[in-house]
C-alpha cells in the first residue's frame, strides 16, 4: 500500500464509527440524489454481477442486491467497514483490498457492472479505471462519480489535504474514455442548484464533448465494453 492509500485508509478508519452515513457528502440528500444518478446510469441490475469499489457502509452494494443482481461484491481499503458489513450482512461478499493490487483484482472474478462512487479522487485515476475495465465482461459497464478538480469548492478540499486528494479534470476523463478500445462512453456534469430543497443537483445530458458554462461540482463517467 502506497503512502497516499495508507493516508485514506487511516482517515476513513477514524470516520467509520460515525452515525452519519453519507461520508463524502454534505448531507444525506446529496448522497441520495447521487445514488439516483448512479441507478439511472448503470442500466438494469437484475441478474448482473456487480462490484462496488470503495463500498464504505455498503448502501449502494445492498441496493444493487435488492434490485436483483445475481452477485454483489463490495470492497474497501478500510477494514473497519468490511468487518462491520461481514457481521451485519453475512449473505454478501465483502473484501478488504484495492484495485491497485493485481493479485487481489484477479481474486475478484469478472463483472457486468463496476461502480466507483467517490473513489477516484483518492487513487491514480487512469490506472484505477483501467483496472476496473479489465474486470468487466464483454458488454459490461464501469461507472464512476467523482468531484471535478476545476470546481472552486473542490479546490478547497484539495488545499486541505495537500496532494492526497486529487480528483480528475473533465479533460482527463475525456482522454481516458477515448483510450478504452472501442468503448461507448460519456460524461455528465452535476451542478449545485439554486434551490436545493427538492434536489441538490442539476444534471447535464451525457456527452463526449462537454462544454460546460460553469465547472460542475461532480462528474459522472460511464463506459461500456464492446460485446
State the pTM of this model.
0.95
Q: What percent of the chain is predicted at pLDDT more than 90? A: 83
pLDDT 10s digits, 192-211: 988 778 889 999 999 999 99
Residue 11 backbone dihedrals phi, psi, to 5 degrees = -60, -50
Q: Which domains does the chain have, with CATH numbers?
A: 3-16+26-224 (3.40.50.150)
Cα–Cα distance measured from residue 100 to residue 86, given in angstroms and rounded to the nearest whole number? 23
Cα–Cα distance measured from residue 63 to residue 69, given in angstroms and rounded to the nearest whole number? 9
Contacts 24+ apart (CB under 8 A), 194-198: 196/29
Q: Which of 25-34, 101-110, 213-222 has the lowest mean pLDDT?
A: 25-34
Which cell goes with 30? Answer: 446529496
Mean pLDDT of 122-151: 97
Mean pLDDT of 10-15: 91
Amino acid at each position: 500500500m502506497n503512502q497516499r492509500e495508507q493516508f485514506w485508509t487511516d482517515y476513513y478508519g477514524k470516520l467509520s464509527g460515525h452515525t452519519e452515513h453519507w461520508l463524502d457528502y454534505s448531507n444525506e440528500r446529496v448522497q441520495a440524489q447521487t445514488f439516483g444518478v448512479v441507478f439511472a446510469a448503470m442500466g438494469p441490475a437484475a441478474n448482473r454481477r456487480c462490484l462496488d469499489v470503495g463500498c464504505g457502509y455498503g448502501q449502494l452494494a445492498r441496493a444493487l442486491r435488492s434490485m436483483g443482481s445475481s452477485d454483489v461484491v463490495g470492497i474497501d481499503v478500510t477494514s473497519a467497514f468490511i468487518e462491520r458489513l461481514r457481521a451485519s450482512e453475512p449473505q454478501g461478499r465483502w473484501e478488504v483490498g484495492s484495485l491497485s493490487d493485481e493479485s487481489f483484482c484477479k481474486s475478484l472474478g469478472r463483472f457486468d457492472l463496476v461502480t466507483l462512487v467517490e473513489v477516484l479522487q483518492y487513487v491514480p485515476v487512469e490506472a484505477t479505471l483501467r483496472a476496473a475495465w479489465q474486470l468487466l465482461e464483454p458488454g459490461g459497464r464501469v461507472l464512476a462519480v467523482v468531484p471535478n478538480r476545476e470546481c472552486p469548492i473542490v479546490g478547497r478540499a484539495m488545499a486541505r489535504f495537500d496532494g492526497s486528494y486529487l480528483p480528475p479534470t473533465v479533460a482527463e476523463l475525456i482522454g481516458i474514455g477515448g483510450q478504452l478500445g472501442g468503448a461507448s462512453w460519456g460524461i455528465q456534469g452535476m451542478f449545485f442548484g439554486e434551490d436545493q430543497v427538492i434536489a441538490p443537483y442539476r444534471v447535464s445530458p451525457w456527452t463526449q464533448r462537454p462544454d460546460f458554462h460553469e465547472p460542475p461540482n461532480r462528474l459522472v463517467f460511464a463506459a461500456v465494453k464492446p460485446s
